[in-house]
Structure 1
Amino acid sequence: MQLLLSLLVAALLQVTTASVLTPPVLPLIVRNPYLSTWLGNARDVPWSKWPMFYTGEEIGLSLMVQVPHTGTIYPLVGKPHEVLSPDLGSHIEYATYLGSYYDASTTNLTYRIDLPATQSLEITVSFLSPITPTSTLRQSIPASYISVEVYGHVDVNIYMDVDGRWVTSDLASRITWQFDDLKLEDNKTNLRRWQVQRETELLFSEIRDRAEWGTLHFAGPADVRYESGDATIVRGRFAKEGAVGNVIDRTFRAVGDRQPVFAFSKSFRLRSDACTGSVLFTVAQTQDPVVRYASSRGLTFMRPLWRSWFPTTEKLLAFHYKDFANANALASNYSQQLAKDAYVSGADDYVDIVALSARQVMGATSFSGTPEKPILFLKEISSDGNSQTIDVIFPAFPFFLYTSPRWLAYLLEPLIEYMLSGQYPNTYAIHDLGTHFPNVTGHPDGNDEYMPVEECGNILIMGLAVVNSLRYPADSYASSVWSTVGSPSQAPSDTQGLFPLDTLQEWDGISGQDGKWGGGTEGEALAREWVERSYPLWTQWTGYLVDFSLEPANQLSTDDFAGWLALQTNLALKGIIGINAMSKLAEVVGYYTDYSFYKNISYTYIAKWEELGMSRDNTHAKLAYDWYGSWTTIYNLYADALLCFHLDGTDNEVSMLAHKTQKPMHDRTVGFVPRHIYEKQSIWYHYVRQKYGVPLDSRHFYTKTDWEFFAMAVASKDVRSEILESVAKWVNETDTDRPFTDLHETEGAGGFPGPNFFARPVIGGHFAFLALERACEGRAMNGLEFLDDLSDDEDEDSEYWIAAAKAAKSLASGRRQDSYEEL
């Protein structure tokens, strides 16, 4: 088994050969809102700071090695050497850090230790938080792998420890711990495990965003040594002896009292011909229950989804550890396909950006429910603690469309269930399902954050996106390549949800996979049933948009940090696209009168929208209808293309459901939103781009990266390329010190503008190119080729455009102009 493990670890380390971008923070162990550990000094050596929780709070995770024939200690991750004293015989030196490499699931840190007699030792520490689009079972497991591979002809000892800061943010909290050996399924090998938890758990409670209930599990193979105790003593013993002492400190105490750590050590004898060795650890954080949810049955303590497949935590950990090869294979398949697609769609920079984004998106989620009715809960993170925020799911949804549309349906499920149950009193869509995660208790008083047009438009657009993901005639046309893996699931029974996971499948020798998502007649039937089930809600939300979206009253959009504003041009566009989305939902279920009704209204509204929303000289969209001289990023244009509305009236138009009914009364034009809107906005973004990207609008220099990628996806290739270069430059140079922020300045040091957003799932919007590439049976991007003809004619108007851009840039200082004659 050890030889096999060494080969698997070696394969893992070869997944990524190079990373172009050097972000300030890298993901290490990122699985859900509470198992979220990051390397906060990613441009420096990894032993200069402790790893951190996404808030910046230190997490006790340390690795170091000792070379026996010199007795020298080399720290690798964290700062365990701080407590080692030369007076007690500890000799500390530092390895040559060779850098980091990452893909969508893995972060590798590589070191070289130069020794006398021209000998050297190379060490790679690999953190794997696998993203497995075809296996929700594996994705639901709240655990990550840490492997250490050593190469050289020198004996070496490896040390790793964790501390109580994994289970509480309060250093005064008392914790308890225990050590045991778990039998793996073959009954021949053991798994050694530390368990750590608060002595008094606080169910569904957080302190500084850290969960105050649940158990940390730190496990390694049977041949590792173990020890718990005061950090100074445990680490000192390893520094002196090259191993920990198989000793358990049973004096339970507070996290900050003689800092208790929980350690493993492993010795490699490499002076023989066998010059490589590896060891695999796993870190898990289990909670049961995971959230409190106001379901249609009433307030419910929701269990983790993994509990349905693994009746005990021990069985979960044993499966997870033995499943390393399968999890790694599925994760590698995803990372490699993502890298290939991103390179074709963007460039090397884009490959790294989406790789950095993937774990962060999934790190905001927690799988719950049962295999019959799975649910995916989401925490907003940093901008707020809200649960299941619709306008946070919306910017993230390109990631889910590309990766697993099934998971998008699971995200929408608790929202639809809650509003179908009648617990929400307003006629528009709810903003979120709870003020602070993990308390998903809804808003029965209707006093959630006021974004009525925003949320109605969002959920209608995403609803149609789910439907479109189910409806494809052949596998090559699926919105996600992983949707086609497996065979169609059996038709759900009355006791199941529409998308159950109770019959898992085996493919390519790997069991526990979901099966095919949609496609063919099965996909058509599921789409119809899913829309029909909630049709009263879809029409209710659309009715609100018919009444209030064309000229939105004073309210918030998703960019609520920018404040309230009436007559927002971009917000109105979202609402109008939402009405058109409803026409398509009606078509799916055969309600053709509704189809024509909503289609005609949307076309009437979009013509009026252009009249109200474009500048006087017709060169760009205004921030608000009555704010002359302003401009804005029309990122909601992305939904028009993603839902294939831009193909209306073209040879590429997709009509997957033919019918003989009355047609909408509008005149057929090329595209729902006219092509010239796309053209004008694309050119405008070129001229208002700053050092680190395109500002959100004319009020400030800050940008939102999720919306930048929405806007880039529907701009010309040249404009996309230059904005992408600006974003990549920002990644390399920003002074932000938290996981990938979606809100930053486009000038200066590219820092936080206040508020400070970080680790948010909204950067799933970075997948906008990839989702669009596969939309409309692969025709969506082809329908935007007209944008690439613009560059040939651009020089004719360059002086005019430059003058317009200068005027636009002058507004970025925050000075409002109520009129500007040239614009």
Structure 2
Amino acid sequence: MAQILTQTLRPPSVPLIAVDPYFSVWSAADRLYDEHTTHWTNKRNSMAGIIRIDGKPRRFMGKVDLADLARVNELPAMEQISVKVEPLTSTYVFEADGIELEAAFMTPLLQDDLELLSRPVSYMTFRVRSIDGKAHRVQLYIDLSAELCVHATDQAVTWSRAETGERVAAMRIGTEEQPILGRIGDDTRIDWGYVYLAVPQSEGLQTAIHSAKMRMRFADSGQLPEKDDEACPREAADDPVAMAAVFDFGETGEQPLSRYAIAAYDDIHAIEYFGKPLDAYWRKAGMTYEEMLNQAAEQYDELVVRCADFNRKLIHESTQAGGEKYADMLSLAYRQAIAAHKLVAGEQGELLFFSKENFSNGCIATVDVSYPSIPLFLHGNPELVKGMMRPIFKYAASEEWTFDFAPHDVGCYPAANGQVYGENKLEYQMPIEECGNMLIMAAAVCLYEGNAEFAREHWELLTRWAAYLKEHGMDPANQLCTDDFAGHLAHNANLSIKAIIGIGGYSILCSMLGDPEGEAYLTTAQEMADKWVETASAGDHYKLTFDSSPDTWSLKYNLVWDRLFGLHLFPTSVAEDEIRHYLAKQNEFGTPLDSRSTYTKADWLVWSASMATSKEQFEQLVEPLWHFLNETPSRVPFTDWYDTVSGKQIGFQNRSVVGGLFLPLLKAL
């Protein structure tokens, strides 16, 4: 069995295509050819790759397990030498028969270019070169299956060629029914719109839309069918259809030769927003899908350079902040955090950035999912934080929302038509949690922009929520918080911190806007913090709840904003005592969330570690998270909820909250 030699971290799952909650393909295996590629929900979204070297076929991506295609499974695989995950790119290197193949999967999620970030395009680049001093004839086959555009494989699909002009050859597959925005829920895949495979025209290029049997035809002859499959439409599971391209590299020597393909998705409409369909952000100027594909091809060379430059800079910055293992984790988290969202333009052209609660409950624009994710976006582009908050402000200001605290969500993805969490029953609300989150997020985005006009636009709601925290936040009643999987909790000490920081954040906004009420709110926050220290103290640490025994404890992750905001409401000794206690309670794969269980949350673990006074302490606290990712038997996209003893996933995967791992990159204000 080949050994992976050059990658330090073994990712539990490698992002290949990472665009949005629907257009998402991963490799949950050590080697790209060990298993089928999958959607983040673990359902098959298969892509296949075969290379012919001097007429000898070898696999490098995916599997084929159909009985009549068993010979493809028996094809020898290239030896995978390495896999490297960088923020925007996942790169595999293979060797066989004197040839080195590099396969790079790049999604240009650059936050300083929002039209590009919202573009539903991912690039696959294939570079080949001789490594034995001899020339070799090389052909390379790739395909995308109909599984990428169906929720279930019993859905019928149709296919066609796309009109993209002379530069690009494009093919597409979509469901026959096309139920646009009709499927709502969590463990779902898109079944409307069209998946595309687009390739630049080049000498020797072959393309075909046909049953997966063409993989065998290529393996045997190097040729694709001359005509596209005519048995259209048919079920995705019935003699599966795929779009394929074959690149002819000709005689390949020591000088690398490169070809690329574009995987893309036209979702037609992206989000339903209070009863009206909205399109992806890139469409706001009226560009057609075909124009977008051509632009994506024209910009390929430029984007390769931009993405490589971004990768280098972010890896350097994260290594400086937390060491090489921390940099590995941010590289794995970056695309996932962004691609768990959909960026759209509202009716007035406003930016809206919708998260999906993946493998949780499917909620859209969830406040307590946005809150942990914002460090990545404050670091990259605060406009995206505003885009998260606007749907909540709109809903909270409507007659549909009757509570005097902030909502939890605005619906279930992709339908943002009003809160669905807990059937809107009072006992399932998160009053302190969401008020605190919205106030902290508002203060953070305004401080990072140096401008509070965004808060002014929503001042009535922010003032109402600050007043709510002032009245109810010191000693929270029995209620849920963002860690709702742990159940209701009264007198929650960490939730009280959130209320105190939320009030402090409101005082900052008052000061920025010249509102004299700010001083009174700051005084209130200080008085509450003083009382908190006295009530929560357990001697060498601070308790889980105000009324619990001194041997209870919890990660006080909300405290980190006291330093970032420059409020200094709590003595520095609070964080120092907590950090020592977290290290003392550490298990093999990290410090648990609290004293009730051995599971933890990756985002809160990093936030808590960020309160450390030394880089050494920080690395001590976060290194077990790296080991979890490297060793967990749970081969899923980065989960934020796992057991610190067994190293197994408890729940959640591919969530936006891993954006919280970027908090150490934020500067105190």
Q: What TM-score range do you get, normalising by the shorter chain? A: over 0.9
Residue 631 (str. 1) matches residue 586 (str. 2):
no
Residue 376 (str. 1) matches residue 353 (str. 2):
yes
Rounded Cα–Cα distance in structure 1 between residues aligned with 2:151 and 2:77: 30
Residue 605 (str. 1) matches residue 528 (str. 2):
yes
Match of 2:401, SS?
A: coil
Residue 291 (str. 1) matches residue 271 (str. 2):
yes
* Equivalent residue number for residue 668 of structure 2: 775
Distance 1:528 1:396, change over 3 A: closer
Rounded Cα–Cα distance in structure 1 between residues aligned with 2:74 and 2:631: 35
* Equivalent residue number for residue 549 of structure 1: 473
Rounded Cα–Cα distance in structure 2 between residues aligned with 1:269 and 1:757: 46
* Equivalent residue number for residue 406 of structure 1: 383
Match of 1:457, SS?
A: helix
Deviation at 1:206, TM superposition (A): 4.6
Q: Which amino acid aligns with 1:169?
A: H
Rounded Cα–Cα distance in structure 2 between residues aligned with 1:46 and 1:166: 18
- Paired residues of 2:163 and 2:290 also in contact (CA < 8 A): no
* Equivalent residue number for residue 747 of structure 1: 645
Please give the per-residue CA displacement for 1:149-191, whole angstroms capped at 9, x wherever unaligned: 11112111100111111111221111000024522xxxxx421
* Equivalent residue number for residue 763 of structure 1: 658
Rounded Cα–Cα distance in structure 2 between residues aligned with 1:327 and 1:396: 26
* Equivalent residue number for residue 337 of structure 1: 313
Deviation at 1:543, TM superposition (A): 0.8
* Worse-matched range after superposition: 261-270 or 350-359: 261-270
Residue 249 (str. 1) matches residue 229 (str. 2):
yes
Rounded Cα–Cα distance in structure 1 between residues aligned with 2:505 and 2:122: 39
- Paired residues of 2:148 and 2:195 also in contact (CA < 8 A): yes
Of 574, 591, 609, which residue of structure 1 is paired with 2:515?
A: 591
Of 340, 344, 357, which residue of structure 2 is paired with 1:364?
A: 340
Distance 1:240 1:453, change over 3 A: same
The number of aligned residues is 650
* Equivalent residue number for residue 619 of structure 1: 540
* Equivalent residue number for residue 11 of structure 1: none
Q: Which amino acid aligns with 1:231?
A: A
Please give the per-residue CA displacement for 1:418-470, whole angstroms capped at 9, x wherever unaligned: 22344311110000111x20010113985484111000001100100010111
Give the TM-score normalised by the residue count of structure 2: 0.94
Please give the per-residue CA displacement for 1:729-783, whole angstroms capped at 9, x wherever unaligned: 21211111110111111112x0023xx2111111111111112xx232xxxxxxx
Distance 1:86 1:691, change over 3 A: closer
Match of 1:564, SS?
A: coil
* Equivalent residue number for residue 214 of structure 1: 193
- Paired residues of 1:72 and 1:92 also in contact (CA < 8 A): no
- Paired residues of 1:420 and 1:534 also in contact (CA < 8 A): no
Distance 1:154 1:535, change over 3 A: same
Percent identity for Structure 1 against Structure 2: 26
Q: Which amino acid aligns with 1:757?
A: F
Please give the per-residue CA displacement for 1:526-585, whole angstroms capped at 9, x wherever unaligned: x24222221111110011101111010000010000000100000011011101111111
Deviation at 1:325, TM superposition (A): 2.3
Deviation at 1:716, TM superposition (A): 2.9
- Paired residues of 1:191 and 1:220 also in contact (CA < 8 A): yes
Rounded Cα–Cα distance in structure 1 between residues aligned with 2:424 and 2:626: 42
Please give the per-residue CA displacement for 1:378-436, whole angstroms capped at 9, x wherever unaligned: 111111200000000111111111121121111112212222344311110000111x2
Of 296, 312, 316, which residue of structure 1 is paired with 2:292?
A: 316
Rounded Cα–Cα distance in structure 2 between residues aligned with 1:635 and 1:91: 51
Rounded Cα–Cα distance in structure 1 between residues aligned with 2:544 and 2:339: 33
* Equivalent residue number for residue 454 of structure 1: 433
* Equivalent residue number for residue 572 of structure 1: 496
Distance 1:262 1:674, change over 3 A: same
Q: How does 1:16-55 map to 2 (within 5 A)?
A: 19-41=7-29, 43=30, 45-55=31-41
- Paired residues of 2:593 and 2:600 also in contact (CA < 8 A): yes
- Paired residues of 1:381 and 1:759 also in contact (CA < 8 A): yes
Residue 733 (str. 1) matches residue 655 (str. 2):
no
Match of 1:426, SS?
A: coil
* Equivalent residue number for residue 441 of structure 1: 417
List runs of 5+ in structure 1 lacking aligned partners. 1-16, 115-119, 184-188, 472-526, 646-670, 777-823
Rounded Cα–Cα distance in structure 2 between residues aligned with 1:157 and 1:723: 48
Q: Which amino acid aligns with 2:304?
A: N
Distance 1:179 1:384, change over 3 A: same
Q: How does 1:321-720 map to 2 (within 5 A)?
A: 321-369=297-345, 372-434=349-411, 436-443=412-419, 446-447=424-425, 449-471=428-450, 527-592=451-516, 594-615=517-538, 618-628=539-549, 629-645=551-567, 671-717=568-614, 718-720=616-618
Please give the per-residue CA displacement for 1:469-511, whole angstroms capped at 9, x wherever unaligned: 111xxxxxxxxxxxxxxxxxxxxxxxxxxxxxxxxxxxxxxxx
* Equivalent residue number for residue 263 of structure 1: 244
Residue 230 (str. 1) matches residue 228 (str. 2):
no
Q: Which amino acid aligns with 2:345?
A: G
Deviation at 1:93, TM superposition (A): 2.1
* Equivalent residue number for residue 658 of structure 1: none
Deviation at 1:719, TM superposition (A): 2.1
Q: Which amino acid aligns with 1:213?
A: W
- Paired residues of 1:81 and 1:92 also in contact (CA < 8 A): no
- Paired residues of 1:390 and 1:458 also in contact (CA < 8 A): yes
- Paired residues of 1:225 and 1:245 also in contact (CA < 8 A): no
Rounded Cα–Cα distance in structure 2 between residues aligned with 1:225 and 1:261: 14
Distance 1:91 1:468, change over 3 A: closer
Distance 1:333 1:409, change over 3 A: farther
Rounded Cα–Cα distance in structure 2 between residues aligned with 1:678 and 1:181: 60
List runs of 5+ in structure 2 lacking aligned partners. none
Rounded Cα–Cα distance in structure 2 between residues aligned with 1:18 and 1:221: 32
Distance 1:83 1:156, change over 3 A: farther
Q: Which amino acid aligns with 2:406?
A: A
Distance 1:132 1:456, change over 3 A: same
- Paired residues of 1:685 and 1:719 also in contact (CA < 8 A): no
- Paired residues of 1:181 and 1:190 also in contact (CA < 8 A): no
Rounded Cα–Cα distance in structure 2 between residues aligned with 1:469 and 1:216: 38
Q: Which amino acid aligns with 1:723?
A: L
- Paired residues of 2:118 and 2:282 also in contact (CA < 8 A): yes
Distance 1:85 1:698, change over 3 A: closer
* Equivalent residue number for residue 171 of structure 2: 194
Match of 1:623, SS?
A: coil
Please give the per-residue CA displacement for 1:210-232, whole angstroms capped at 9, x wherever unaligned: 11211111111223211222212
Q: Which amino acid aligns with 2:371?
A: F
Of 164, 168, 183, which residue of structure 1 is paired with 2:150?
A: 168
* Equivalent residue number for residue 147 of structure 1: 125
Residue 137 (str. 1) matches residue 115 (str. 2):
yes
Root mean square deviation, CA, Å: 1.9
Q: Which amino acid aligns with 1:441?
A: N
Rounded Cα–Cα distance in structure 2 between residues aligned with 1:677 and 1:221: 59
Q: Which amino acid aligns with 1:686?
A: L
Q: Which amino acid aligns with 1:40?
A: A
Rounded Cα–Cα distance in structure 2 between residues aligned with 1:339 and 1:20: 14
Quick check: which has more Rg, 1 or 2? 1
Rounded Cα–Cα distance in structure 2 between residues aligned with 1:179 and 1:599: 63
